[in-house]
Amino acid sequence: MNGVALHATAGGGAGEGSLRRVASGDLDTAHGVVLYLDEISVSFDGFKALNKLSLAIDVGELRCVIGPNGAGKTTMMDVITGKTRPDAGKAFFGQTIDLTRMSEPEIAQAGIGRKFQKPTIFERHTVFENLELAMKADKRVRRTLFARLSSAERDRIADMLQRIRLVEVADRAAGLLSHGQKQWLEIGMLLMQEPRLLLLDEPVAGMSDEETERTAELFLSLAGKHSLVVVEHDMQFVAKIARTVTVLHEGAVIAEGSMERVQNDRRVIEVYLGR
Amino acid sequence: MGPVSTTFSRLYGRRGWIALGAFGAVLFIVIPVLVLAVPPGSTFHVSQYWVTLIGKIMCYAIVALAMDLIWGYAGILSLGHGLFFALGGYAMGMHLMRQIGREGQYQADLPDFMVFLDWKELPWHWSGSDQFWWAMLLVVAVPGLLAYVFGYFAFRSRVKGVYFSIITQALTFAAMLLFFRNETGFGGNNGFTDFKRILGFAIATPETRVALFAITGAMLIGTLLLGRYLVTSRFGRVLAAIRDAEQRVMFCGYNPVHYKLAVWTASAVLCGIAGALYVPQVGIINPSEMSPANSIEIAIWVAVGGRGTLAGAAVGAGLVNGAKSFFTQAFPEYWLFFLGLLFILVTLFLPNGVVGLADRLRGARRA
């Protein structure tokens, strides 16, 4: 069990050296790269959603991806998670796992978790059940027919409830939560999957300032143990958590670097920040 | 508590088990005694008419449970479930036809309709039908295999919602046309009837009727408990999650195709078994069982009883069919109007069916 990896304390983001080799699939990150996109192109009816997009995410990195609407951020996530097949290009998870040949569930099991723009949780299940279903386990039919929660698994769910501050509402239907709580539940579900790479699409949309603050802290504490790709419109939030920022425009990367450098880039100002 | 007793307590609470026990006592003790032991002149005597009617409705209740598993829990609306029911019925019917032996109209080795068509020997798909075990195998395997193959392609291609419903409707309609044809070897529009024996027992005696009735009752209770087990397991929670947010289920690492296929196939098999129990009690099976309207009616039973409640689906089958047998005798021409009205009213005012209404009343009394 690598449940320990979940209990990162706030500020533990620099602990890249202590990264444990977890046995999730055959993920091979010997060269320090967890996700590698090479010249990915996707077009829908002639419209180029992604145009030779290349991107590499290091192990333990927290990367922010920004860009105006239609820049291809969500399509990029769709390609990584198997929802959309690229017309051309390569997408590798670690050195050996070819994402373009896998289905969504296979990619999820290999260790990539995804949070949607609009919180998608199981509204009619309780908060507890949401976490139970997301939890890393054998997810084949005949296992779920006879699955019982072990006490270790119960503890892990309890820990996660604490961490996402939903202990009091554990037995309530998830649909009754506030918007911010739903966002947190979805993040909690992602973490229960124990992914190596988390893709987060606008994770603080609709959150209060305090919730946003706490989310920033959470992400910083996750970096190092997990690799994170955060797509966000909220510049303040990006400025708070970003180390490296990638700017997309018309389906390709136009700038990459620190927030400061990106903010001063002429093309970026032209297409995005300056408008 | 051992694992077995926790499994039982997970399925139903104390009151649920008591209700189920009472239901079982009526089915297995009270009704058989009133039919067999009480003399026909007595006011307490229950006639064979009622045994057949209740037995038939219990077969429908099994179908309703099977429908609720896929519609109420997995969110897949089938409008072709009558097909699986009919296939199970035909598999049983073939065996019952063979059991007639030489007692048919033509006193031939072949079933009457084949003699009538001037056939000289049994078609290939009738081989083995004289064996009871083979018939039982077909009852399970034919609906199961058809559902598996159909479901595999439909679910893998991500056919969903109303498109899926329409395809299932087309499937049962196509099968009906096929079974109407004499060349197919299933008795054409007359189907199979005039059964004489089952497992060597005369089929129309009160004893055989009561035995079939009790077996159907046991199957109904078994189906209910199996359904409860499925929906209270993690498997059931994954199904409901697929119904509510399939994308999230996939990104959690579950493959929805496998889950849908499992519950879809199980549902079809249950329908096949219900059909096999139905045919010897009602005494006839013909292609009208595959008519699109029949399959739509199954969905109405479940909607009336309450989707996603299991017991409610069975109650819905009982209520609608009870009303049907009353209406078709009292006002035969108005039954379909009544059925349509019922469906509209339930959809508008009782989205959770009769069970939902009962819950609401209970809640109101408490408040």
For residues B167 and B78, give the distance between their C-alpha atoms in angstroms, rounded to a whole number: 9
Residues B250/B93, Cβ–Cβ less than 8 Å? no
Please report which confidence band the pLDDT of residue A273 belongs to, taking 50, 70 and 90 as the band edges.
Answer: low
- In this model, does residue A157 exceed pLDDT 50? yes
The model's pLDDT over A45-74, given as tens digits with 9 standing for 90+, comes to 888 899 999 999 999 999 999 988 888 899
Compare CB distances from B252 to A123, A134, A145 and report the shortest one's residue: A134
Mean pLDDT of chain A: 86
Residues A31-55, mean pLDDT to the nearest whole number = 90
Please report which confidence band the pLDDT of residue B367 belongs to, taking 50, 70 and 90 as the band edges.
Answer: low
Q: How far is CA B173 from CA A66, A164, B8, B279, B285, in A?
A: 53, 52, 41, 20, 16
Residues B284-305, mean pLDDT to the nearest whole number = 95
Mean pLDDT of chain B: 93
The model's pLDDT over B230-274, given as tens digits with 9 standing for 90+, comes to 999 999 999 999 999 999 999 999 999 999 999 999 999 999 999
Please report which confidence band the pLDDT of residue A259 belongs to, taking 50, 70 and 90 as the band edges.
Answer: confident
- In this model, does residue A178 exceed pLDDT 80? yes
pLDDT-above-90 percentage for chain B: 75
Please report which confidence band the pLDDT of residue B150 belongs to, taking 50, 70 and 90 as the band edges.
Answer: very high
Chain A residues with beta carbon closer than 8 angstroms to that of B307: none
Q: Is B333 exposed, middle or buried (0-12, 13-18, 19+ CB in 10 A)?
A: exposed
> Among A187-201, B93-107, B348-362, where is mean pLDDT lowest?
B348-362
Per-residue model confidence (pLDDT) at position A20: 38
Please report which confidence band the pLDDT of residue A265 belongs to, taking 50, 70 and 90 as the band edges.
Answer: confident
Q: At what angle do helices B132-156 and B81-99 cross, to 10 degrees?
A: 160
Residue of B nearest to A139 (CA): B254
Per-residue model confidence (pLDDT) at position B347: 85
Interface membership of B158 toward A (CB under 8 Å): no
Q: Where are the domains of chain A?
A: 121-193
Per-residue model confidence (pLDDT) at position A24: 45
Chain B residues with beta carbon closer than 8 angstroms to that of A124: 240, 244
**A122/B248 CB distance under 8 A:** yes
Chain A residues with beta carbon closer than 8 angstroms to that of B234: 132-133, 144-145, 147
The whole-angstrom distance between A6's CA and the closest CA on chain B is 17
Residues B57/B321, Cβ–Cβ less than 8 Å? yes
Residues B101-118, mean pLDDT to the nearest whole number = 89
Per-residue model confidence (pLDDT) at position B7: 78
pLDDT-above-70 percentage for chain A: 89
Per-residue model confidence (pLDDT) at position A19: 39
pTM here is: 0.90
- In this model, does residue A127 exceed pLDDT 90? yes
Per-residue model confidence (pLDDT) at position A68: 84
For residues B159 and B148, give the distance between their C-alpha atoms in angstroms, rounded to a whole number: 15
Please report which confidence band the pLDDT of residue B2 belongs to, taking 50, 70 and 90 as the band edges.
Answer: low
Compare CB distances from A144 to B235, B248, B256 and report the shortest one's residue: B235
The model's pLDDT over A217-237, given as tens digits with 9 standing for 90+, comes to 989 988 888 999 999 888 888
Chains A, B: CB contacts under 8 A, how many? 75
**B255/A105 CB distance under 8 A:** yes
The model's pLDDT over B64-87, given as tens digits with 9 standing for 90+, comes to 999 999 999 999 999 999 999 999
- In this model, does residue A18 exceed pLDDT 70? no
**B251/A114 CB distance under 8 A:** yes
Residue of A nearest to B260 (CA): A141
Per-residue model confidence (pLDDT) at position A274: 52
Please report which confidence band the pLDDT of residue A272 belongs to, taking 50, 70 and 90 as the band edges.
Answer: low
Please report which confidence band the pLDDT of residue A9 belongs to, taking 50, 70 and 90 as the band edges.
Answer: very low
Residues A134-157, mean pLDDT to the nearest whole number = 93
Residues A179/A207, Cβ–Cβ less than 8 Å? yes
- In this model, does residue A6 exceed pLDDT 90? no
Per-residue model confidence (pLDDT) at position A192: 95
E-only strand ranges, chain A: 33-44, 47-58, 62-66, 88-93, 97-98, 112-115, 197-201, 227-231, 244-249, 252-257
Residue of A nearest to B245 (CA): A122
Residues B81-109, mean pLDDT to the nearest whole number = 94
Per-residue model confidence (pLDDT) at position B179: 96
For residues B271 and B244, give the distance between their C-alpha atoms in angstroms, rounded to a whole number: 25
- In this model, does residue A22 exceed pLDDT 50? no
**B237/A132 CB distance under 8 A:** yes
The whole-angstrom distance between B40's CA and the closest CA on chain A is 49
The whole-angstrom distance between A27's CA and the closest CA on chain B is 16
The whole-angstrom distance between B77's CA and the closest CA on chain A is 19
Residues B331-353, mean pLDDT to the nearest whole number = 88
Interface membership of B42 toward A (CB under 8 Å): no
**A133/B237 CB distance under 8 A:** yes
Residue of B nearest to A131 (CA): B252
SS3 label, residue A126:
strand
Chain A residues with beta carbon closer than 8 angstroms to that of B244: 122-125
**List of residues 6+ apart from A157 with CB closer than 8 A:** A128, A131, A132, A135, A149, A192
What is the ipTM for the molecules in this complex?
0.89
Query: What sign for the dihedral angle of Cα A256, A259, A262, A268?
Result: positive
Compare CB distances from B235 to A104, A124, A141 and report the shortest one's residue: A141
For residues A21 and A27, give the distance between their C-alpha atoms in angstroms, rounded to a whole number: 9
For residues A58 and A94, give the distance between their C-alpha atoms in angstroms, rounded to a whole number: 9
- In this model, does residue B363 exceed pLDDT 80? no
Chain A residues with beta carbon closer than 8 angstroms to that of B249: 133
Cα angle A238, A243, A247; round to 5? 60
Per-residue model confidence (pLDDT) at position A232: 87
SS3 label, residue B193:
strand
Residue of B nearest to A126 (CA): B237
The model's pLDDT over A84-122, given as tens digits with 9 standing for 90+, comes to 999 999 999 998 899 999 999 999 999 999 998 888 999
Chain B residues with beta carbon closer than 8 angstroms to that of A103: 250, 255
Return the exposure string of B262-282: e unless at least 16 CB atoms fall within 10 Å of the residue's CB, then b.
bbbbbbbbbbbbbbbbbbbbb
Per-residue model confidence (pLDDT) at position A7: 39
